[in-house]
Amino acid sequence: MQSYQAWRLIEEGEYRYDPGEHHGPLLYFVTKWMYPFISRANGELTDEGMRRVPMLFSMGTVFLGLLVFRKYGRADALLWGMIVAAAPLCVIYGSYYVQEALLVCFTLGFAFGIYRYWQYPSMGAAVGVGIALGLMHITKETAVLHVAAIMGAGLITVLLRSEKPSIGLSGLFRHLGVVAGIALLLHCLFFSSFFQNPKGIVDGFATFFSYAERSQGQGHEKPFFYYASLLLPQRLEGVRWSELAFLIATLLGVVGAVAKLRADGFRFFIVGSGLLMFFVYSIIPYKNPWLMLAPYCFLAFSAAIGVVEVLHYGRSLRNAPGKWGVVVCGLGLLFWLTAELRQNHDKALVRYASASRNPYLYMHTTPRYSKLLDRLESVKGLEEIAVYSPDAAWPLPWHLRGWTKVGYWTDLNSYQAGGIDVFDTRLMEGQEHLAASGGFWELHGLRPNTILALRATDERGESWVSSNAED
């Protein structure tokens, strides 16, 4: 549905923010601005082209992380970059056309900006923090959770290190005003569609009430340990999955960050931000894998720290047997982590790229869905298509965008047999009379546990069958 919203903005040149759906407006406007670079020569938008938008920001995240983390250890930065560039969660949702890749990039920038401002307070640093905060806010409402986690980690870091601010209260409040002013300006510009829809300014704040209610689950409820279970060893339909090496390295990184808190507050701050984000998302009933993208990217730095600190500790020992034992353990953990990344990458992105046994996937379309699209493409402009589904059989509206002979209904109360009918089978329970409409029937998978029934005239069905026979 995100792609559909962007397409409407590109085609109609107008966007009105809906506080109950679709998250912040930035993704759609960025897509519009990038339209010449993501569309085909004929101006057509494709799934592959749309993915270039989040991929651009994912690359920006890696570049930004490497640029900053290298100042605190090149080995840590390189290992962090390897994890973020190869981990299935990051690869899948770093190119998924949702707001998450943008939000992660801005969240990382906000964290870096906050720490730099605390170390070297200045108007320039305050402007950077304000821009990052504003971009987070106009990307997705869950930015407030990231801000709370980062500020909480910052406060804990300051208290444990007994640091005193190097700026007076008057200067601090002046800078806070700049931060708030920049964030508010971005809010007004984008939520109002650059003042074409002034009501969007108020709606941009009203969304927090809508999503506070949605956070309770609304069909996406998962237990507290759901996100942790993605990292722990598990078997799904006979396939073994595990990020145990990542988890162990992360825990070692937490220990290392705490042990060196006095000497290096930055590592503790980043690791603490990741842990708090992970905890906050875990206690919220509403859960899906891509919400873990930001916590995972922050905790990947902890994993990098864990491996590097073990190696550094081993090299610092004077006792030869103990020294080489620890070094071997560190190298073993590095090899295990690398092998685990390679294996999970192969399984999640190649062998089980669209299988329900893939724990990283969520509400994804099945391979059978492409067969349905082929069926409908063959009758484009020739037949009227009626879709009956409580959620418009997402993502059909995106793939049937611009078609003039398509209608959508959320129930079967007004059903009449037409040229082509597509039913969400959840609506067909107890509707035995549908079979009386006759015609050609065929089942297609949409998403795991969601089946679509395609009904067409006998003549159209015969043409499809004969076409299959010729193929």
Answer yes or no: is pLDDT of 217 > 90. no
| Residues 99, 131: Cα–Cα separation, whole Å | 17
Tens digit of each residue's pLDDT (9 = 90 or more) over 340-353: 999 999 999 999 98
Count of alpha carbons within 13 Å of 327, Cβ hemisphere only?
A: 12
Strands 385-388 and 420-424: parallel
Q: What is the pLDDT of residue 471?
A: 53
- Is the CB of residue 22 less than 8 Å from the CB of residue 5? yes
Answer yes or no: is pLDDT of 221 > 80. yes
| Residues 259, 312: Cα–Cα separation, whole Å | 13
Q: How confident is the model at residue 93 (pLDDT cuts 50, 70, 90)?
A: very high
Q: What is the pLDDT of residue 159?
A: 93
Answer yes or no: is pLDDT of 390 > 60. yes
Percent of the chain whose predicted confidence (pLDDT) is above 90: 60
Using left for φ > 0, alpha for ψ between -120 and 50, and beta otherwise, residue 15 falls in beta
Q: What is the pLDDT of residue 215?
A: 65
| Residues 415, 81: Cα–Cα separation, whole Å | 54
Mark 315-328 as b/e (b = at least 16 C-beta within 10 Å): eeeeeeeeeeebbe
Tens digit of each residue's pLDDT (9 = 90 or more) over 269-320: 999 999 999 999 999 998 999 999 999 999 999 999 999 999 988 888 877 7
| Residues 241, 238: Cα–Cα separation, whole Å | 10
Q: What is the pLDDT of residue 213?
A: 65
Q: What is the pLDDT of residue 269?
A: 97
Q: What is the pLDDT of residue 423?
A: 92
Q: How confident is the model at residue 8 (pLDDT cuts 50, 70, 90)?
A: confident
- Domain boundaries along the sequence of the chain: 2-351, 368-470
Q: How confident is the model at residue 329 (pLDDT cuts 50, 70, 90)?
A: very high
Answer yes or no: is pLDDT of 470 > 70. no
Tens digit of each residue's pLDDT (9 = 90 or more) over 25-73: 999 999 999 999 999 988 888 889 999 999 999 999 999 999 999 999 8
Q: Label residue 442 exposed, middle or buried (CB < 10 Å: 0-12, 13-18, 19+).
A: middle
Does 437 or 369 have the greater pLDDT score? 369
- Is the CB of residue 348 less than 8 Å from the CB of residue 274? no
pTM: 0.91
Q: How confident is the model at residue 468 (pLDDT cuts 50, 70, 90)?
A: low
Estimate the crossing angle of helix 47-69 against helix 74-86, to 10 degrees.
160
| Residues 281, 302: Cα–Cα separation, whole Å | 18
- Is the CB of residue 210 less than 8 Å from the CB of residue 323? no
**Residues in contact with 422: Cβ distance below 8 Å, sequence separation at least 6, in sequence order:** 372, 376, 385, 386, 387, 388, 389, 393, 396, 452, 453, 454, 455
Answer yes or no: is pLDDT of 469 > 70. no
Of residues 290, 344, 278, the one with CA closest to residue 102: 290
Does 90 or 468 have the greater pLDDT score? 90
Using left for φ > 0, alpha for ψ between -120 and 50, and beta otherwise, residue 394 falls in beta
Answer yes or no: is pLDDT of 219 > 70. no
The mean pLDDT value for 159-165 works out to 86
Per the omega criterion (within 30 degrees of 0), is the bond before 321 cis? no
The mean pLDDT value for 380-394 works out to 88
Answer yes or no: is pLDDT of 87 > 80. yes
Mean residue pLDDT of the chain comes to 90
Tens digit of each residue's pLDDT (9 = 90 or more) over 124-145: 999 999 999 999 999 999 999 9
Q: How confident is the model at residue 231 (pLDDT cuts 50, 70, 90)?
A: very high
**Residues in contact with 256: Cβ distance below 8 Å, sequence separation at least 6, in sequence order:** 267, 305, 306, 309
Q: How confident is the model at residue 211 (pLDDT cuts 50, 70, 90)?
A: low
Mark 109-133 as b/e (b = at least 16 C-beta within 10 Å): bbbbbbbbbbeebeeebbbbbbbbb
| Residues 373, 37: Cα–Cα separation, whole Å | 25
Answer yes or no: is pLDDT of 21 > 90. no
